[in-house]
Structure 1
Amino acid sequence: MRVIFMGTPDFSVPALRAIAASHEVVAVYSQPPRAAGRGQKPRPSPVHRTADELGLPVRTPERLKSPEDQAEFAALDADVAVVVAYGLILPQAVLDAPRLGCLNIHASLLPRWRGAAPIHRAIMAGDAETGVAIMQMEAGLDTGPVLAETRTLIGPQDTTADLHDRLSAMGAELITRTLENLPLPATQQPADGVTYANKIDKAEARIDWNRPATEIDRQIRALSPFPGAWCMIGEERVKLLRSRLTEGSGVAGQVITGFVIACGEGAIEILEAQREGKRPMPASEILRGLTLPESLG
């Protein structure tokens, strides 16, 4: 089929590679290059770089609202557009242009966790499972009918980074199977069970040791690697990137032993952390160069 691919971050790359291996990708749409790095030079997105590697034409409009942009999109005469974390709202004229419409790969089991941060929110809420849904796009925010889905358990030590990579690969496989079998019957999302995955706010990242260990453990894993849940260790701000629930009790924030910290209820063990200006390191390596105080802030 003639496919338009629309995506921007690393999460989208496996799907682009999988589709390009089986179909004619007539154009790749991605966010414009953004200033990054020490020199603040414009840097193409991961999808843009992958498209260049594959020899695919790339378009990077700031928006898709102008008649000219929409006419160029329609002129591609695509059978379908596949959208994966593109980052722009698609006007109705764009949604309607491909013969089979626009399909979105969404990293949740819709209607749970519509919106910007479904992986983070699933872990933070303590969900037992998540997955990937292929949705027929419409004007509402992730409200369209679902054509296919696949599920995975959320393990007790899974971080957002872990689930990101797993769901990205699952999405690539699922969209490939979906495109092979189009058109497919679509199932309307139920009205019950709708939740919204609001964008992560950095204000959510500071750890309050008075909260239960289960909540702090989810916070650490959900915000790893970015923005990274953090606490003060002495005068230094340290990101905590991996953790697990463990036995122990004490005053909230108390260092019980090693890197085991008492919480408002229960305790957690820190498995990986990152000091300021340093790379992420296992807890055992961190403790060789950092003496923990009696309690953390």
Structure 2
Amino acid sequence: MRIIFMGTPDFAVPALQALLKGGHEVVAVYTQPPRAAGRGMALRKSPVHEAAEAAGLEIRVPNDLKSPAEQKRFAALDAEAAVVVAYGLILPKPILNATRRGLFNIHASLLPRWRGAAPINRAIMAGDAESGVCIMRITEGLDEGPVCLMERESIGPDMTAGQLHDALSELGASMIVEALAALESGTLQCLAQDDANATYAAKIKNADTRIDWSLAAKVVHNHIRGLSPYPSAWFEINLGGKRERVKVLDSKLADGNAPAGMLLDDALTVACGEGAVRLTEVQRAGKKPMSADSFLRGIDLPARTVFD
């Protein structure tokens, strides 16, 4: 089929590669413009931009799709359908109507649960036992379109957002190929969502990332793994005479009973409002991720220290 692809982060790259491998003609790739990043703030192309460039595809990086001129350029591609994966721009109605068979989104949740920007993070932070991928026909509402395909993925008790991200990225790539084959053969059936059961995965803000040790250990553990590896949960502590933010990338549930935030042992076990968590991988400001042992070797941190 003649396809337009619209995506930006690394989550979308396997889908683009699967479409090309499946023999589809990707007539253009829309992705976010290069952004300043890193210490030097040099312009950096998105992962989809780099993948499309490597494949020799036409790449378009509009700042938005609101102008009639940009909408006309999109329609002029004369595509049968468009595939959208975490593109990051609003799609106006003229764009939604500009292909012959519609626009299809790869969404990383079991819709209508976790509509919105951060479904992977929010599912783990909420302690969900499963997630999955939906192939959805895009409508004007936020992730409200009819669902054409759905596949489930178990969330293990220690699975991080990064691990779930990778699993769902590959799952979505295989599913979009299946969905387009059904679309082409006329057998694709899309069913309306039950809006009454909808929940929303709000974008992660900085205020969402600080660890609250007063919560139960299971909640703290879910919070840590739901934000790992990015943007990462964190706490503050006095190190070398100054306050320092420490990110937590991995943790395990542990036994313990003490005031919330208190360090219980030399294995970086921290008391919570109920129970405790053992921090197994952390990252100091400006340093690489390290094990708990490596972290503790480099500092003087006596037991009963309280983390903020």
TM over 0.5: yes
**Deviation at residue 146 of structure 1 after TM alignment:** 0.3
- Residues 151-204 of structure 1, C-alpha deviation per residue, up to 9 Å, x if partnerless? 111111111111111111111111111111114011100123200101111012
Aligned-residue sequence identity (percent) comes to 57
Residue in structure 2 matched with residue 240 of structure 1 by the alignment: 248
1:20 aligns with 2:20: yes
Quick one: distance in 2 between partners of 1:291 and 1:16?
Answer: 49
Quick one: distance in 2 between partners of 1:238 and 1:224?
Answer: 13
The 3-state SS of whatever aligns with 1:230 is strand
How many equivalent residue pairs? 297
The 3-state SS of whatever aligns with 2:53 is helix
- Residues 238-258 of structure 1, C-alpha deviation per residue, up to 9 Å, x if partnerless? 111111212221121121122
1:256 aligns with 2:276: no
The 3-state SS of whatever aligns with 1:256 is coil
Q: Is the 8 A contact 1:114 1:142 kept in 2?
A: yes
Quick one: distance in 2 between partners of 1:136 and 1:162?
Answer: 26
Structure 1, 107-116 or 243-252: larger mean CA deviation: 243-252
The 3-state SS of whatever aligns with 2:197 is coil
For structure 2, list consecutive stretches of 5 or more residues without a partner in the other structure: none
Q: Is the 8 A contact 1:205 1:228 kept in 2?
A: yes
Residue in structure 2 matched with residue 296 of structure 1 by the alignment: 307
The 3-state SS of whatever aligns with 1:241 is strand
1:173 aligns with 2:174: yes
Residue in structure 2 matched with residue 276 of structure 1 by the alignment: 285
- After superposition, residues 1-297 of structure 1 pair within 5 angstroms as 1-22=1-22, 23-182=24-183, 183=186, 184-234=188-238, 235-257=243-265, 258-293=267-302, 294=304, 295-297=306-308
The 3-state SS of whatever aligns with 1:176 is helix
The 3-state SS of whatever aligns with 2:150 is strand
AA partner of residue 121 (structure 1): R
AA partner of residue 185 (structure 1): Q
**Deviation at residue 276 of structure 1 after TM alignment:** 1.3
AA partner of residue 85 (structure 1): A
Quick one: distance in 1 between partners of 2:64 and 2:195?
Answer: 31
The 3-state SS of whatever aligns with 2:221 is helix
**Deviation at residue 296 of structure 1 after TM alignment:** 1.6
**Deviation at residue 79 of structure 1 after TM alignment:** 0.9
Quick one: distance in 2 between partners of 1:201 and 1:125?
Answer: 16
Superposition misfits of 4+ residues, deviation over 6 angstroms: none
For structure 1, list consecutive stretches of 5 or more residues without a partner in the other structure: none
**Deviation at residue 82 of structure 1 after TM alignment:** 0.1
Q: Is the 8 A contact 1:156 1:244 kept in 2?
A: no
**Deviation at residue 67 of structure 1 after TM alignment:** 1.2
**RMSD over equivalenced CA pairs, Å:** 1.1
**Deviation at residue 98 of structure 1 after TM alignment:** 1.1
Quick one: distance in 1 between partners of 2:166 and 2:246?
Answer: 25
- Residues 52-108 of structure 1, C-alpha deviation per residue, up to 9 Å, x if partnerless? 000000011111111111111111111110000000111111111111100000000
